[in-house]
Amino acid sequence: MSANSSSSLSIRDLHASIGDKPILKGLTLDIPKGEVHAIMGKNGAGKSTLAKIMAGHPDYTVTSGDVLLDGESILGLEPDVRARLGLFLAFQYPMEIPGVTIANFIRAALQARLPEGEELEATDYYAKLYAKMDALSVPRNFTSRSVNEGFSGGEKKRCEILQMAMLEPSYAVLDETDSGLDIDALKIVSAGVNALRGPNIGMLVITHYQRLLDYIVPDKVHVMSEGRIIHSGDKDLALKLEAQGYDWVEKEFGESGTRAA
Amino acid sequence: MSTETKPDIDIDRSVGDFRYEMDYAFDAGVGLTEATIDYISDVKGDPDWVRAFRKEGYRKFLEKPMPTHWATKDLESIVFENIRYYLSQGQVPKRTWDEVPDDIKRTFERLGIPEQERKFLSGVEAQFDSEAAYSNIKAAVGEQGVIFVGSSEGLKEHPEIFKKWFGKVIPSGDNKFSALNSAVFSGGSFIYVPPGVKVKHPLQAYFRINAQNFGQFERTLIIVDEGAELTYMEGCTAPKFETATLHSAVVELVAMKGAKIQYITVQNWSSNVFNLVTKRGIAHEDAEVKWIDCNIGSRLTMKYPGVVMKGKGARGEVVSIALAGDGQHQDTGAKMIHAADNTTSNIISKSISLGTGRSTYRGMVHVPKHLKGCKNNTECDALLINSHSRTDTYPAISVRGQGNAVQHEASVSQISAEQIFYMQQRGLSEAAAMSLAVNGFVNDLVQQFPMEYSVELKRLIDLEMEGSVG
């Protein structure tokens, strides 16, 4: 279990539902700063829902449990407040914002983090933006395109990672970042994520396939089923899941199987 | 998340919503009769033909019914007997701000007009209720033969040009409100640009309503001669009153062969103003008339800038942004009349409806059978912010004959809760996210405004949005 909850993203016995339908049923997970954890699970296990609930999506209701960011509960806070506290979600399906350029969007997001009356310095901003773009192999003309509008799947995901690089969150949740990517795009996006790894960030990588974890090698792998983490292990667990599927783990650790202590 | 809002009617119009008490030297009183018209004509010293023109306009105004068979019934809320038709401190505008009476000058200073004039304009006319208080053109522009005066001065000093076009682009009987304007018009600009003169910086007029229960009826006539070019900008504000105020202008533009006119409007009326304006231009051979129109505020705006493409190769364009706030109705659009071969028109309209706001697009495109090589492109996009916001589109396109092309695209969109969530996840507050999305929606059109105005526009949109997200 959690070593030091004051520098981790900590989910404690979380129960949440949409309408009357329970989605999370007592999920506990701890992501210390400096580590990369992966959540794997079948479609419908509630993986993406977990990401949205942490970010504060209004469609979901938390019925009990808690989510702590460096020891402070973030439940009840608006999504933008959670974001400014350092939580970043790379969306599985990033939204299009017509007419708003990437440069202006990221700039507005950074501006929102400054105290009232303080203005972002334009030259510093662009210098930093271009440096991050170069590191992610994003062409310069990207900045004048509207956010995600008409983007390919790969461009959308690269745009998410660019935003993450610019906003420098302390915790990042990457929701199915591999979906819709061909192998070349996957390599670029993974390299971008790996470049951001370090002692000041904790990452949670949500994925359906082991493939992504060849490139973003996790410190821990968790298996999610029916709204809970049913089993955890090291990166070899992902390989085992890839080779043998999810049935054995659900049988052994899931609701219907014998619970691990 | 709910994008349902509690729209705040008392939006802070920090720029325009203020008013100073005034004693008017000239006041036509309340209500409209022939005596009112005689009073206006007497005070202004109208030539006989103008007095006759006014009386004819008045007759047509009485004859014409309210256009409520197609337009909103809210027009019936205008009580013509309760309106004051002429209020002024004098009929001759001053040439320097120092000469402008203090009580009027402080209004324009607060609106930043003298400052803008110094910074980026070729000339300014500032109208306060019925008359221009200030009118000046920079010496260098005047020396090129450009005339920029009030309409009263124009008709007296330059009758040879004025009379030829006045009331010809928009006949007084065009509609009930053009007839009313013809009867009681006062103020507005008269501009003439001689052949080949390209006026580098814009000329600007500012229309300010200060009095309650007042009707402002400016009349603008702009003639740009062969191969000449002009950009004209107008801004409008009024303080907020409990009772209705009427603004009913007529604007006529004439672009001679190869001339270019760009007419830019940024109106920010308070929510008690009925804004019923007729605007039309004639484009002769290879000439271009472009209306760039931004309608913010007012209780009801009805405005359909038009271009009659009279000469071969003429071009007409209307670019318009309308923002209908809570309780407001922006009924706007464009009229494109193709009257020669190879004429081209383009209409791009974007509207935003907030709260119970309603935006209506009416577009008329007319290409008769005998013409060839005519093209029209129409795009109208509506953005609805709240579930009870409303938009309607009434395109009337009649294209006959062979070899004419017309293209029409319309869309209605909403800012989705998922878009807002996405932006909030990046750290933007819900209100900031909404503002950013709305600014994005109109961004391509805002780019067409001069820089000083596009900054102002963005600020106005942000102000309107502030009250609309709860």
Q: How far is CA B162 from CA A217, B156, B421, in A?
A: 80, 9, 57
Judged by a CB distance cut-off of 8 A, whether residue B417 touches chain A is yes
- For the ranges A4-13, A46-55, B298-307, B361-370, the lowest mean pLDDT is seen at A4-13
Distance CA(A165)–CA(A56), nearest Å, equals 21
Q: How far is CA B4 from CA B11, B192, B325, B439, B466, in A?
A: 17, 50, 14, 19, 14
B390: tokens are 């409303």
- Taking contacts as CB-CB distances below 8 angstroms, the residues of chain A near B419 are 95-97
In 3-state terms, what secondary structure has residue A101?
A: strand
Q: How far is CA A69 from CA A33, A85, A199, in A?
A: 10, 8, 16
Instruction: Read off the pLDDT of each residue in B329-339 and give the average, rounded to a whole number.
Output: 97
Percent of chain B with pLDDT over 70: 96
Q: Is residue A138 included in any domain, yes or no?
A: no
- Tell whether the model's pLDDT for residue B10 goes beyond 50: no
- Tell whether the model's pLDDT for residue A216 goes beyond 90: yes
To test the contact with chain A by mutation, choose from B425, B430, B438 the residue with the greatest count of A C-beta atoms within 10 A, namely B425
- For the ranges A36-40, A157-161, B33-37, B108-112, the lowest mean pLDDT is seen at B108-112
Structural element, H or E, at residue A98: strand A97-101
pLDDT band at B235 (very low <50, low <70, confident <90, very high): confident
Nearest CA distance, B455 vs chain A (angstrom)? 15
Distance CA(A136)–CA(A215), nearest Å, equals 15
Give residue B190's identity as a one-letter amino acid code: F
Report the mean per-residue pLDDT for chain B.
89
pLDDT band at B271 (very low <50, low <70, confident <90, very high): confident
Residue in B425, B428, B439 nearest the CB of A55: B425
Q: Is residue A224 included in any domain, yes or no?
A: yes
Burial of A163 (0-12, 13-18, 19+ CB in 10 A): buried
- For the ranges B73-82, B194-203, B235-244, B442-451, the lowest mean pLDDT is seen at B235-244
Residue in B2, B422, B428 nearest the CB of A112: B428
- Taking contacts as CB-CB distances below 8 angstroms, the residues of chain B near A48 are none
Q: Is residue A72 included in any domain, yes or no?
A: yes
To test the contact with chain A by mutation, choose from B422, B445, B461 the residue with the greatest count of A C-beta atoms within 10 A, namely B422
Angle at A36 between CA A31 and CA A38, to 5 degrees: 85
> Are B432 and A112 within 8 A, CB to CB?
yes
Chain A's closest residue to B431, CA to CA, is: A80
Do the Cβ atoms of B304 and B276 come closer than 8 Å? no
Nearest CA distance, A95 vs chain B (angstrom)? 6
Residue in A95, A106, A108 nearest the CB of B419: A95
pLDDT band at B8 (very low <50, low <70, confident <90, very high): very low
- For the ranges B95-99, B182-186, B451-455, the lowest mean pLDDT is seen at B451-455
> Are B416 and A167 within 8 A, CB to CB?
no
> Are B424 and A78 within 8 A, CB to CB?
yes
- Taking contacts as CB-CB distances below 8 angstroms, the residues of chain B near A146 are 440
pLDDT band at B386 (very low <50, low <70, confident <90, very high): confident
To test the contact with chain A by mutation, choose from B2, B421, B443 the residue with the greatest count of A C-beta atoms within 10 A, namely B421
Instruction: Read off the pLDDT of each residue in B429-455 and give the average, rounded to a whole number.
Output: 88
Nearest CA distance, B439 vs chain A (angstrom)? 8
Q: Are strands A61-69 and A72-73 parallel, antiparallel or unpaired?
A: antiparallel
> Are B444 and A78 within 8 A, CB to CB?
no
> Are A112 and B429 within 8 A, CB to CB?
yes
A49: tokens are 């829902």
Residues of B numbered 440-459 whose beta carbons fall under 8 angstroms of chain A's beta carbons: which are they? 440-444
Per-residue pLDDT, B5:
39
- Tell whether the model's pLDDT for residue A259 goes beyond 70: no
Radius of gyration of chain B (CA): 21
Structural element, H or E, at residue A110: helix A102-111
Q: Is residue A82 included in any domain, yes or no?
A: yes
Q: Tell me the per-residue pLDDT of B97-112, one tens digit each, with 9 for 90 and over.
A: 888 888 788 888 887 8
Distance of CA B383 to the CA centre of its chain: 22
Q: Is residue A103 included in any domain, yes or no?
A: no
Give residue A65's identity as a one-letter amino acid code: G
Residue in A56, A91, A100 nearest the CB of B436: A100
Judged by a CB distance cut-off of 8 A, whether residue B419 touches chain A is yes
With tokens 């004429």, the residue in question is B343
Instruction: Read off the pLDDT of each residue in B356-368 and give the average, rounded to a whole number.
Output: 95
Instruction: Read off the pLDDT of each residue in A81-96 and give the average, rounded to a whole number.
Output: 97
- Tell whether the model's pLDDT for residue B273 goes beyond 60: yes
Nearest CA distance, A111 vs chain B (angstrom)? 9
pLDDT band at B15 (very low <50, low <70, confident <90, very high): low
Per-residue pLDDT, B14:
54
Give residue B157's identity as a one-letter amino acid code: E
Q: Is residue A105 included in any domain, yes or no?
A: no
- Tell whether the model's pLDDT for residue B209 goes beyond 60: yes
Per-residue pLDDT, B3:
38
Nearest CA distance, B40 vs chain A (angstrom)? 49
Q: How many domains does chain A have?
A: 1
Q: Is residue A143 included in any domain, yes or no?
A: no
Distance CA(B324)–CA(B359), nearest Å, equals 6
- Taking contacts as CB-CB distances below 8 angstroms, the residues of chain A near B382 are none
Nearest CA distance, B438 vs chain A (angstrom)? 9
Q: How far is CA A150 from CA A97, A145, A147, A163, B379, in A?
A: 10, 9, 9, 18, 19
Instruction: Read off the pLDDT of each residue in B434-459 and give the average, rounded to a whole number.
Output: 85
Angle at B215 between CA B211 and CA B216, to 5 degrees: 90
> Are B425 and A79 within 8 A, CB to CB?
yes
Alpha helix locations (H) across B276-429?
417-425
In 3-state terms, what secondary structure has residue B334?
A: strand
- Tell whether the model's pLDDT for residue B195 goes beyond 90: yes
- A11 is in which domain, residue-wise? 5-93+170-253
Burial of B143 (0-12, 13-18, 19+ CB in 10 A): exposed
pLDDT band at B132 (very low <50, low <70, confident <90, very high): confident
More confident position, A255 or B313: B313
pLDDT band at B333 (very low <50, low <70, confident <90, very high): very high
> Are B425 and A96 within 8 A, CB to CB?
no
- For the ranges A218-222, B172-176, B207-211, B373-377, the lowest mean pLDDT is seen at B207-211
Q: How far is CA B19 from CA A1, B124, B208, in A?
A: 67, 21, 10
Residue B146 DSSP one-character state = -
> Are A78 and B2 within 8 A, CB to CB?
no
Per-residue pLDDT, B250:
97
Q: Tell me the per-residue pLDDT of B30-65, one tens digit each, with 9 for 90 and over.
A: 999 999 999 999 999 999 999 999 999 999 999 999
Which CATH number do you get for residue A216? 3.40.50.300
Q: Tell me the per-residue pLDDT of B318-330, one tens digit each, with 9 for 90 and over.
A: 999 999 999 999 9
Judged by a CB distance cut-off of 8 A, whether residue A115 touches chain B is no
Q: Is residue A115 included in any domain, yes or no?
A: no
pLDDT band at B469 (very low <50, low <70, confident <90, very high): low
- Tell whether the model's pLDDT for residue B198 goes beyond 80: yes
Distance CA(B395)–CA(B240), nearest Å, equals 33
Do the Cβ atoms of B140 and B147 come closer than 8 Å? no
Per-residue pLDDT, B17:
74
Task: Tell me the CB-side half-sphere exposure of residue B381, using CA atoms within 13 A.
Answer: 16
Q: How far is CA A177 from CA A96, A228, A259, B332, B426, in A?
A: 17, 21, 31, 45, 17
Q: How far is CA B40 from CA B89, B181, B291, in A?
A: 13, 12, 31
More confident position, B236 or B320: B320
Burial of B461 (0-12, 13-18, 19+ CB in 10 A): buried
Instruction: Read off the pLDDT of each residue in B434-442 and give the average, rounded to a whole number.
Output: 92
DSSP string spanning B260-299?
Answer: EEEEEEEEEE-TTEEEEEEEEEEE-TT-EEEEEEEEEE-S
- For the ranges B12-26, B275-289, B312-326, B434-448, the lowest mean pLDDT is seen at B12-26
pLDDT band at B467 (very low <50, low <70, confident <90, very high): low
- Tell whether the model's pLDDT for residue B340 goes beyond 60: yes
- Taking contacts as CB-CB distances below 8 angstroms, the residues of chain B near A88 are 425
Instruction: Read off the pLDDT of each residue in B332-344 and give the average, rounded to a whole number.
Output: 97
- Tell whether the model's pLDDT for residue B9 goes beyond 50: no
Percent of chain B with pLDDT over 90: 63
Do the Cβ atoms of B72 and B63 come closer than 8 Å? no
Sheet-wide strand order for A8-18: A21-32, A8-18, A61-69, A72-73
